[in-house]
């Protein structure tokens, strides 16, 4: 599993986080833990969408392999 960086800031009673490595990934919450959980969920959704989008047009004859990073 690969970890990414989360930038967390507090704005009043809210925590706000974003991931500079994954544009568009952000989260918020009343606690830092809930903020990071929401950010993680956003990252999962973005990566899932990018995976689906990236598979469009791949020939059926191509093989699919997994690569571990980190």
Contact between residue 26 and residue 42 where contact means Cβ atoms under 8 Å apart: yes
Would you state the pLDDT for residue 13?
Answer: 97
Would you state the pLDDT for residue 69?
Answer: 79
Would you state the pLDDT for residue 25?
Answer: 97
Would you state the pLDDT for residue 14?
Answer: 98
- 3 state DSSP class of 11: strand
- pLDDT tens track for 6-65: 999 999 999 999 999 999 999 999 999 999 999 999 999 999 999 999 999 899 899 989
Would you state the pLDDT for residue 1?
Answer: 62
Would you state the pLDDT for residue 2?
Answer: 77
CATH of 7-47, one of 3.30.160.250, 2.40.50.140, 3.40.50.620, 1.20.1290.10: 3.30.160.250
């Amino acid at each position: 599993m690969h970890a990414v960086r989360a930038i967390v800031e507090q704005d009043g009673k809210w925590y706000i986080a974003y991931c500079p490595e994954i544009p568009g990934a952000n989260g918020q919450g009343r606690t830092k833990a809930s903020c990071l959980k929401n950010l993680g969920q956003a990252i999962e959704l973005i990566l899932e969408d990018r995976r689906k989008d990236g598979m469009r047009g791949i020939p059926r004859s191509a093989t699919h392999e997994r690569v571990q990073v980190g």
